[in-house]
Amino acid sequence: MSLDVLTYLFVGASFALYIGIAIWARAGSTKEFYVAGGGVPPVANGMATAADWMSAASFISLAGIVSFIGFDGSAYLMGWTGGYVMLAMLLAPYLRKFGKFTVPDFIGDRYYSSTARTIAVICVIFISFTYIAGQMRGTGIVFSRFLHVDIDTGVLIGMVIVFFYAVMGGMKGITYTQVAQYCVLIFAYTVPAMFLVMQITGHFLPQTGLGGTVLESVNPVWADKPVLVVLDEVVRDLGFHEYTDGKKTTIDMFFLTVALMAGTAGLPHVIVRFFTVPRVKDARTSAGWALLFIAILYTTVPAVGAIGRLNLINTVNGMDGQGTPYAEMPQWFKNWETSGLLGWYDHNGDGKVQYAAGNAFDGSKPAFDGENRGELGQRLITNPGSGEFDTAKQPFANEIFVDRDIMVLANPEIAELPDWVIALVAAGAVAAALSTAAGLLLVISTAISHDLLKKTLKPDINEKQELLAARLASVAAICVAGYFGLNPPGYVAATVALAFGLAAASFFPAILMGIFSKRINREGAIAGMVVGLVSTMAYIVYFKFMGGPKDMWFMGISPEGFGTVGMILNFVVSFVVSNMTPPPPQEIQDIVEDIRIPRGAAAAQDH
């Protein structure tokens, strides 16, 4: 069968499976819609949590970051994995013992304030919509290449699929759908990774691939040299920064890593997963399972990223490093040109494709003018609507633009793996994007229907009305998410990193202090969340959307890492304001005591 047929078969079969599960597990009550009835087994919840956690950023974009920025990409690996350990150890069991449906529910009750609850809802909406933009873009990228549609159409297809199992099934349908999606995505990620590593180093396990040496059959010049040594030499010769040496400053690396860690621990769509298990003990157990399932992918990422970069350079520049005639470029190159995520402009007119340091085009989304994409002398618009390509602005030897989000998807084609492997990767990438998108949509709809409507604006509505409001909120959220997917603020992982910064600056301090400090009161929590969210959002908007110059970054901290600054401000403001105002009521202090110190083992098990 052809690649197209296999792709339609794999992706179509997975869609049918997801929708079938959603219909089978359709939510019939608000408890089933919000927390799957609270009866999900720990292993299943661990798989669902892993699928919820391993979004398009993890599946599609993380290896792309590692491919292109090398050492600096370790901030994402350390931040996202370390943050999950913090969540599992510091927050999850205590939040499960508190026994509420959502993070705003915890904030509202712990800080005895409808204002705090409303601010938490606003934080959920900001964080979730920023995060979901990356998921919808990831879906669009997959469909644009493998279903031969443009990215915008791909986003719309993803919206329709998510609508079925998020709106119909609620958390119950999403949970069991995500179990299936985890199986699909982890198989789709690790199988091609094994092929890639074996082709380059002869190793079977991706986890040991970077410790191997390059085989002579790959490139005689690189034979028997360690993979990382070859990468350092090659990228240095091409004018790039050495792969194993970072460009980011130490302070920016530190702040970015901490923002990703704290943001992970404060992500509402991940936290809510621990409300779906029967007991506190099960929350701890499912966290352990989730860590194991997540580790399988995250320990595979470095090899996929590094070997993908090596394959790209070897394919484009050829064994002699002088470039490859465009007429001899493999079909995968021309396929990805059609998607608009890869492009070529022949600077020197020699008809060869050459990859080196520098930006091939001015702008991150090159638009093609004319049907003859990639041919010598083609016209490329550098920014849509801005005019013809200006060679004076780009004097570099680099002649290709490569969107880093395509690396994982293109790797099997670059390595000439079987078509069924390529189709499998497409199905896995869609599973990763849609699983997280569904979890985020549910969090948004729950925050609106349960926390804002039921708990604040209209407390007298019945369960049937609340469930209807939740489904309508899901529909509205899907529409907004689709808009952000069509107009994302950056590549997938960078967009998602902004969401982590917002979560770190707003939720993490309020949740952590709400569990471990009896003195933090509603005034302190409200002031801290507002200061943290507003300061971080203002910094992101100015430097990411208003063109703020890089040399004006505060202490050299990037927008993705500024969430750590917002978090520190949140902690400080919360502490100062709380100590200047009356302490929380005694019953609230007793609740905090009860969360952390169980009244006997039986109480801890059955609470």
* CATH number of the domain bearing residue 147: 1.20.1730.10
Q: What is the mean pLDDT of residues 243-265?
A: 87
Residue 100: per-residue pLDDT:
66
Least confident of 201-210, 367-376, 446-455: 367-376
Q: Both 292 and 336 in a single domain?
A: no
Query: Can you give the pLDDT at residue 360?
Result: 60
Q: Is residue 410 part of a domain?
A: no
List beta partners, residue 344: 400
Contact between 515 and 509 (Cβ < 8 Å) = no
CA distance 66 to 404: 9
- The mean pLDDT value of the chain amounts to 77
Domain final residue pick, 374, 404, 434 = 404
> Do residues 216 and 245 share a domain?
yes
Q: Give the three-class secondary structure for 306.
A: helix
Domain that holds residue 348: 318-404
In a domain, 110, yes or no: yes
* Residue 555 · residue 570 · CB < 8 Å: no
For the ranges 99-113, 207-221, 330-344, 557-571, the maximum mean pLDDT occurs at 557-571
| Same domain as 555, residue 490 | yes
Q: Identify whether residues 495 and 474 lie together within a single domain.
A: yes
Give the residue-averaged pLDDT of 397-423. Answer: 78
Query: What does the pLDDT average to over 189-210?
Result: 86
In this structure, is residue 90 part of a structural domain?
A: yes
Flag whether 412 is in a domain.
no
pLDDT at 569 > cutoff 90: yes
pLDDT tens track for 436-468 = 777 777 777 777 777 777 777 777 777 777 777
- Cβ atoms 490, 57 nearer than 8 A: no
DSSP 541: I
Judge whether residue 238 has pLDDT over 80. no
Q: What is the pLDDT of residues 582-605, one digit of tens each?
A: 999 998 888 888 877 654 444 444
Give Cα separations from 563 to 66, 211, 255, 545 (angstroms): 22, 34, 8, 16
Give the residue with greater pLDDT, 218 vs 347: 218
Quote the pLDDT of residue 294. Answer: 87
Least reliable range by pLDDT among 81-85, 127-131, 229-233: 127-131
pLDDT tens digits, one per residue of 151-185: 788 888 877 777 766 665 556 667 777 788 788 88
What average pLDDT score do residues 272-283 get?
A: 76
Residue with tokens 């929590």: 525
Q: Comparing 282 with 101, which gets the higher pLDDT?
A: 282
Residue-level pLDDT at 388: 37
Q: Percent of the chain beyond pLDDT 70?
A: 82
Q: Confidence band (pLDDT; 50, 70, 90) for 254?
A: very high
Among 404, 428, 453, identify where a domain stops: 404
Q: Are residues 499 and 554 in the same domain?
A: yes
Give the pLDDT of residue 570: 95
Indicate if 192 and 333 belong to the same structural domain: no
Considering 357, 377, 404, which residue would you say is the last residue of a domain? 404
Stretch among 29-43, 174-188, 320-334, 338-352 having the lowest mean pLDDT: 29-43
pLDDT at 233 over 60: yes
Instruction: Name which of 295-309, 356-370, 496-510, 561-575 the model is least confident about.
Output: 356-370
pLDDT the model gives residue 167 = 62
The model's pLDDT over 3-28, given as tens digits with 9 standing for 90+, comes to 778 888 887 887 777 777 767 766 55
Q: Is 78 exposed, middle or buried (0-12, 13-18, 19+ CB in 10 A)?
A: middle
Q: Cα separation of 192 and 197, whole Å? A: 9
Q: Clarify whether residues 270 and 125 are in a common domain.
A: yes
Distance of CA 225 to the CA centre of its chain: 34
Tokens for 421, please give them: 């492997």
Q: What are the residue ranges of helices labelled H in 415-562?
A: 419-446, 463-486, 492-516, 522-540
pLDDT at 426: 80
> 564 pLDDT exceeds 90?
yes
**Residue 508 contacts residue 262 (beta carbons within 8 Å):** yes
Q: Which of 200-209, 231-240, 509-518 has the highest mean pLDDT?
A: 509-518
Task: Please give the Cα distance from 382 to 415 (Å, whole number).
Answer: 30
Residue 371 has pLDDT above 60, yes or no: no
DSSP string, 73-94: GHHHHHHHHHHHHHIIIIIHHH
Residue 29 pLDDT exceeds 70 = no
Taking the C-alpha atoms of residue 448 and residue 458, their distance in angstroms, rounded to an integer, is: 11
Note the pLDDT of residue 291.
Answer: 85
Question: Which of the two residues, 28 and 505, has the higher pLDDT score?
Answer: 505
pLDDT at 34: 56
Would the pLDDT of 491 be above 60?
Answer: no
Q: Which of 314, 267, 322 is nearest to 290 (CA)?
A: 267
Among 85, 79, 58, which Cα is nearest to 255's? 79
Classify residue 313: in a domain, yes or no.
Answer: no
Residue 369: inside a domain, yes or no? Answer: yes
97, 216: one domain: yes
- Do 273 and 365 share a structural domain? no
Q: Is 411 within a domain? A: no
Of 255-264, 298-307, 315-324, least confident by mean pLDDT is 315-324
Question: What are the tokens at 379?
Answer: 């016209």
In whole angstroms, how large is the CA radius of gyration of the chain?
24
Q: Structural domain tally of the chain?
A: 2
Do 472 and 332 share a structural domain? no
Q: Give residues with Cβ within 8 angstroms of 208, minimum separation 6.
A: 197
Give Dmax (Cα) for the chain.
79
Residue 600: how many CB atoms within 10 A of its CB? 8
d(Cα 213, Cα 236) in Å, to the nearest integer? 19
Shared-domain flag, residues 300 and 322 = no
The pLDDT, as a whole number, for residue 597 is 66
pLDDT of residue 94: 82
Tell me, yes or no, whether 570 lies in a domain: yes
Q: What local confidence, expressed as pLDDT, does residue 454 receive?
A: 74
Predicted local confidence at residue 171, as pLDDT: 62
More confident residue, 561 or 332: 561
Would the pLDDT of 363 be above 50? no
My answer on whether 10 and 137 are in the same domain is: yes
